[in-house]
């Protein structure tokens, strides 16, 4: 089973390289040659692991979806059905978009018009946000007259916009930017009683969690991240 080990490594570097190239050039303009070269393997090796370009892209999306799933589940586990869970999850997502090429590449593929419409990534994120805000609504965490679905649509639109704009300008993916958004949104969305407990910048544990176990975490200093 020593062989298998190398295969796993090859497969992983292939996905990594693919995510990078997809993120840089988009699906259609990315060439398999560039991907296999960046991964340091031959063209044939690529086709041994992934039958086609689409299959490779699917794998990238799949891995990004797994990361997204971990991320949202962790947020809910910590914050329950509160609004804070959504705030935290958006922060983690935006942070990943800036640091994890697989997530970035996955969303590039999910957004692109050239691939299948029922992108797992988009619907997964949108479903989670909707579900979470519906729970918050049921739990009375939302302000009077604010429907959970409407709030969810707004949150999804904002994050989608940040992702799209962040492709060319990293400042859209900064924590400050998103914090500013929540500071404009929370007073209107949240029930007055719970408003004081909400942290626009994301709860400390969230920030800590996002920083842990991620290679090349060049995030903000802890003092700032907590502020």
Q: Give the footprint of DNA on this chain (CB under 7 A).
A: 1-4, 6-7, 9-11, 30-34, 41-45, 47-49, 51-54
What 112-118 contacts at long range (C-beta under 8 Å, 24+ apart), as own/partner pairs, is 112/26, 112/27, 112/28, 114/26, 114/27, 114/28, 115/27, 115/54, 115/57
Q: Which range, of 84-92, 165-173, 196-204, 209-217, touches a copy of itself by CB under 8 A?
A: 165-173
DSSP 52: S
- Please give the residues from 104 up to 133 whose contact with a copy of itself meets the rule CB under 8 A: 108, 111-114, 117, 119, 122
Question: 10 Å Cβ neighbour count for 112?
Answer: 15
Which among 74, 77, 123 has a CA at the least distance from the CA of 95?
A: 74
Shortest Cβ distance from residue 60 to DNA (Å)? 14
Rounded to an integer, what distance in angstroms lies between the CA atom of residue 129 and that of residue 151? 9
Shortest Cβ distance from residue 17 to a copy of itself (Å)? 17
Shortest Cβ distance from residue 150 to DNA (Å)? 41
Query: Where do we find the tokens 């940040």?
Result: 162
Q: Among residues 158 and 211, whose Cβ is nearest to a copy of itself?
A: 158
Shortest Cβ distance from residue 147 to a copy of itself (Å)? 8
Question: Using CB distances below 5 to 8 A depending on partner kind, what does residue 138 bind out of a copy of itself, DNA, none?
Answer: none
Q: Among residues 8 and 176, whose Cβ is nearest to a copy of itself?
A: 176
How many residues of this chain bind a copy of itself (CB under 8 A)?
41
Rounded to an integer, what distance in angstroms lies between the CA atom of residue 199 and that of residue 195? 9
Rounded to an integer, what distance in angstroms lies between the CA atom of residue 166 and that of residue 94? 9
71's tokens: 């991320």
Q: Among residues 5 and 168, whose Cβ is nearest to a copy of itself?
A: 168
Q: How many helices (H) and strands (E) in the chain?
A: 12, 0
Q: Which range, of 73-81, 127-135, 155-163, 197-205, touches a copy of itself by CB under 8 A?
A: 155-163
Site of interaction with a copy of itself (CB under 8 A): 23-26, 28-29, 108, 111-114, 117, 119, 122, 146, 150-151, 153-154, 156-165, 167-168, 172, 177, 180-181, 183-185, 187-189
């Amino acid at each position: 089973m020593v062989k298998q080990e190398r295969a796993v490594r090859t497969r992983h570097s292939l996905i990594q390289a693919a995510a990078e190239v997809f993120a840089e050039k988009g699906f259609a303009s990315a060439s398999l040659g560039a991907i296999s070269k960046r991964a340091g393997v031959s063209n044939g090796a690529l086709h041994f692991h992934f039958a086609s370009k689409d299959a490779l892209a699917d794998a990238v999306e799949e891995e990004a979806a797994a990361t997204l799933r971990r991320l949202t589940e962790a947020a809910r586990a910590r914050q329950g059905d509160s609004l804070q869970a959504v705030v935290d999850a958006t922060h983690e997502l935006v942070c990943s978009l800036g640091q994890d090429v697989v997530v970035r590449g996955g969303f590039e593929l999910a957004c692109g018009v050239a691939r299948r419409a029922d992108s797992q990534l988009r619907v997964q994120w949108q479903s989670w946000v909707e579900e979470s805000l519906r729970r918050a609504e049921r739990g009375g965490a939302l302000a009077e007259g604010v429907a959970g679905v409407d709030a969810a649509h707004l949150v999804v639109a904002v994050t989608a916009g940040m992702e799209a704009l962040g492709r060319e300008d990293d400042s859209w993916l900064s924590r400050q930017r998103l914090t500013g958004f929540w500071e404009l949104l929370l007073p209107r969305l949240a029930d007055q009683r719970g408003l004081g407990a909400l942290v626009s910048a994301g709860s400390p544990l969230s920030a800590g969690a996002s920083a842990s176990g991620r290679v090349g975490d060049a995030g903000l200093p802890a003092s700032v991240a907590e502020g």
